[in-house]
């Protein structure tokens, strides 16, 4: 597929059969929608009386916790655990806040683990687009945030992150565990729109870093690197690269990677041609971490490993999270287009689900 497809809206729409582009463009609308839908949610006063938070979720539905537990680590006064499995930890009790998150409302792991949490008298709140999880919560008279999916036309959970990520922030703010104001939500929507204009299809490749990164990663495995408040973003970025672009991708945390990975890039020798590290940098990082990025790039250069750096522009941590979310989402989308791949279908995952039935 020729690289000029990225600047040709007609060709893009022809390949993008389920309108993933619409889901990207409507990210801000997802946030605005779920903020409005959450206003009617009533949460018992005793939900604030907890010793820990456990989030149940799989795939895109669990990405919210990856983001909020690092973004608000200086504000949250209780530990946060994510369960991507069928069973809950033994420590769960009546002082545990359980957030059961399932975009579809049918995720079997979540449905299994939330029932275990109910038996242990945990304080449970659910977030989904409806179906089994919402019905179960209603039967058990538990607070539940149920969102519509009209602003995610591709209907792919990984592209409904405005619902799942901001939705979980809203739940925590309604309980009183962190602060998320109407002003902040408006800022989020504004920033999402700004970077949609910068990284969207109408901005030509030569001025568009998302398109430039997509072209740079042709034929390569992509490994995202971030620190501190952006650690949740790189999990989301890798997931979207896996599913949208059918690309082998993952993520590493800095400074942790400096303590082992630098020795691991030497072999196999094909790393020089097969790997691309994407370094997400921020002036809000600890000064020592900022220095680590400079030295890490020297080590990558020394070993002839390709790398691409993106430096955040926004003024605070929350808005940088939003900036990177738009950037990496578009990168995965453009990477798919460059390979002639329709980004929405996930045939291998669908096959697996059918086999599990």
Q: What is the pLDDT of residues 214-229, one digit of tens each?
A: 999 999 999 999 999 9
Q: What is the pLDDT of residues 271-327, one digit of tens each?
A: 999 999 999 999 999 999 999 999 999 999 999 999 999 999 999 999 999 999 999
**CB-based contacts of 14-19 (< 8 A; 24+ apart in sequence):** 15/337, 15/340, 15/341, 15/342, 16/337, 16/342, 16/343, 16/344, 17/342, 17/344, 17/345, 18/153, 18/154, 18/155, 18/156, 18/342, 18/344, 18/345, 19/153, 19/154
For residue 2, is pLDDT > 80? no
Across the chain, mean pLDDT equals 96
For residue 58, is pLDDT > 70? yes
Instruction: With cut-offs at 50, 70 and 90, classify the pLDDT of residue 1.
Output: low
Q: What is the pLDDT of residues 86-108, one digit of tens each?
A: 999 999 999 999 999 999 999 99
pTM: 0.96
Residue of 137, 154, 198 lying closest to 162 (CA atoms) = 154
Instruction: With cut-offs at 50, 70 and 90, classify the pLDDT of residue 357.
Output: confident
Sign of CA dihedral 46, 49, 55, 56: negative
CB of 81 within 8 A of CB of 87?
Answer: no
The torsion angles phi and psi of 55, rounded to 5 degrees, stand at -105, 130
For residue 82, is pLDDT > 70? yes
For 139, the 3-state DSSP assignment is: helix
């Amino acid at each position: 597929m020729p690289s000029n497809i990225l600047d040709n809206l007609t060709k893009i729409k022809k390949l993008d059969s389920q309108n993933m582009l619409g889901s990207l463009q409507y990210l801000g609308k997802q946030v605005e929608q779920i903020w409005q839908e959450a206003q009617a949610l009533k949460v018992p006063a005793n939900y604030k009386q907890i010793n820990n938070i456990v989030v149940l979720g799989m795939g895109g539905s669990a990405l919210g916790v990856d983001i909020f537990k690092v973004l608000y680590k200086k504000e949250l006064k209780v530990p946060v655990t994510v369960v991507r499995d069928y069973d809950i930890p033994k420590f769960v009790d009546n002082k545990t806040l359980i957030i059961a998150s399932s975009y579809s409302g049918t995720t079997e792991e979540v449905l299994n683990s939330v029932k275990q949490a109910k038996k242990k008298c945990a304080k449970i709140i659910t977030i989904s687009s409806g179906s089994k999880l919402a019905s179960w919560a209603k039967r058990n008279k538990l607070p539940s945030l149920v969102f519509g999916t009209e602003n995610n036309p591709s209907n792919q959970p990984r592209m409904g992150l405005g619902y799942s990520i901001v939705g979980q922030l809203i739940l925590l703010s309604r309980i009183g565990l962190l602060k998320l104001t109407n002003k902040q939500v408006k800022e989020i929507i504004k920033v999402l729109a700004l970077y949609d204009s910068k990284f969207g299809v109408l901005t030509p490749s030569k001025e568009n870093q998302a398109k430039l990164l997509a072209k740079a990663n042709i034929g390569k495995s992509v490994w995202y690197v971030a620190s501190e408040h952006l650690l949740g973003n790189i999990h989301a970025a890798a997931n979207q690269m896996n599913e949208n672009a059918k690309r082998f991708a993952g993520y590493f945390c800095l400074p942790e990677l400096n303590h082992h990975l630098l020795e691991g890039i030497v072999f196999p020798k094909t790393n020089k041609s097969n790997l691309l590290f994407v370094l997400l940098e921020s002036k809000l990082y600890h000064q020592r971490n900022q220095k680590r990025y400079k030295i890490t790039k020297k080590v990558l250069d020394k070993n002839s490993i390709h790398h691409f750096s993106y430096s955040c522009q926004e003024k605070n941590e929350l808005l940088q999270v939003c900036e990177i979310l738009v950037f990496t989402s578009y990168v995965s989308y453009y990477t798919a287009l460059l390979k002639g791949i329709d980004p929405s279908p996930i045939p291998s995952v669908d096959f697996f689900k059918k086999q599990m039935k």
